[in-house]
């Protein structure tokens, strides 16, 4: 059942994430045959709340309003990563899950659920920038940084900003079916379901630090990504035995030569998909993947989306045809 929805706000809440919840669950679209929710904005810290954008929000609803909610949604906040939360808020969330309600976090709202112990032993996610800290702060949580959202039954977590839309539409789809979710998505002018995960949005700068002995080899590899390479060849360039080279490479980059090379090839493919109109076969040749099918395979494995879907997201529609 998804009839009664409460958005739980703390100070410095982010307006966009709150707006997502209001748009999906708080608007009356009954004229389009869509369900109407009993929606309320609930304050966890007094009747007047600050927002990250500098204005304030007032609401008559306090924590007691959570007792009747089927879904409690916690939008992100600016300082959620490093603050403490009122115990009565955490207890209200635990009580809600205990009676069968569901809780949803958007972006850094996952930290509130983590503080309540609701991520313990569960898969979860948050914005990729906060994922490492979430795992450190709540070591019993199973953090998955590459996905848009995770549904663990009573606990749903979503990644940064727009991923909250994906999670909300997922809940609507579960409760009312695909047609309802598609209608809301159409009204919001967003896709009803996005391909891939947040891995495609994560910045991966080249590792420049601590490369005392293999730095020159890394630079050579970066300049020759279109060529075949072996550990033996790379070791010879570094004037080391293959075994010593592999050990030094792991120590200084934190990964193996193969994985480093694969990452840089995918990065170059991303750049070419964003900035050029080259065909998939051409990009595959320039990045060392050989052909479009191999490019697609490695791209999906690394980023969870296809090269064409990535290009549509970051460059716009093209007339290029992708190998199936």
- Give the Cα separation of 127 and 125 in Å (integer): 7
Cβ-proximal residues to 75 (8 Å cutoff; 6+ apart), any chain: 7, 9, 13, 14, 17, 18, 20, 21, 106, 107, 109, 164
**Which 3 state secondary structure label does DSSP give 89?**
helix
Max CA separation in the chain (angstroms): 73
Active-site option among 22, 107, 124, 211: 107
Sheet holding 102-106, edge to edge: 38-43, 4-9, 71-74, 102-106, 155-158, 149-151
Measured CA to CA in angstroms, residue 63 lies from 69, 150, 237 at distances of 11, 26, 65
Please tell me the total number of residues recorded for the chain in this structure: 324
- Give the Cα separation of 99 and 295 in Å (integer): 48
Please choose, from the candidates 79, 76, 104, the residue with its C-alpha nearest in 3D space to the C-alpha of residue 17. Answer: 76
Active site residue 168: no
- Partners of 41 in the β-ladder: 7
Measured CA to CA in angstroms, residue 313 lies from 56, 195, 306, 309 at distances of 34, 10, 11, 6
CA torsion sign for 292, 232, 260, 273 is negative
Measured CA to CA in angstroms, residue 224 lies from 110, 145, 208 at distances of 42, 30, 17
Q: Which residues are catalytic?
A: 107
């Amino acid at each position: 059942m998804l009839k009664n929805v409460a958005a739980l706000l703390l100070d410095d809440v982010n307006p966009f994430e709150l707006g997502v919840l209001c748009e999906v669950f708080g608007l009356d679209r009954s004229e389009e045959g869509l369900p109407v929710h009993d929606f309320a904005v609930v304050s966890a810290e007094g009747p007047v709340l600050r927002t990250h954008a500098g204005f304030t929000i007032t609401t008559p609803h306090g924590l007691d309003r959570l007792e009747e909610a089927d879904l409690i949604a916690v939008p992100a906040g600016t300082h959620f990563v490093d603050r403490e939360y009122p115990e009565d808020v955490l207890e209200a969330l635990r009580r809600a899950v205990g009676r069968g309600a569901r809780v949803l976090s958007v972006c850094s709202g996952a930290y509130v659920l983590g503080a309540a112990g609701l991520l313990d032993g569960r898969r979860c996610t948050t914005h990729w920038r906060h994922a490492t800290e979430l795992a450190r702060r709540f070591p019993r949580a199973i953090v998955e940084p590459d996905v848009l959202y995770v549904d663990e039954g009573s606990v749903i977590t979503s990644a940064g900003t727009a991923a909250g839309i994906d999670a909300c539409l997922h809940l609507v789809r579960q409760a009312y079916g695909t047609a309802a979710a598609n209608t809301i998505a159409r009204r919001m002018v967003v896709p009803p379901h996005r391909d891939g995960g947040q891995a495609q949005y994560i910045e991966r700068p080249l590792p420049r630090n601590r490369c005392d002995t293999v730095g020159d080899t890394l630079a050579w590899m970066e300049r020759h990504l279109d060529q075949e390479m072996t550990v033996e060849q790379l070791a010879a360039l570094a004037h080391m035995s293959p075994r010593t080279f592999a050990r030094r490479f792991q120590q200084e980059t934190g990964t193996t030569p193969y994985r480093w090379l694969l990452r840089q090839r995918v990065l170059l493919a991303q750049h070419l998909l964003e900035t050029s109109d080259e065909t998939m076969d051409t990009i595959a040749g320039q990045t060392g993947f050989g052909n479009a099918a191999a490019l697609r395979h490695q791209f999906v494995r690394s980023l969870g989306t296809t090269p064409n879907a990535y290009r549509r997201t970051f460059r716009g529609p093209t007339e290029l045809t992708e190998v199936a």
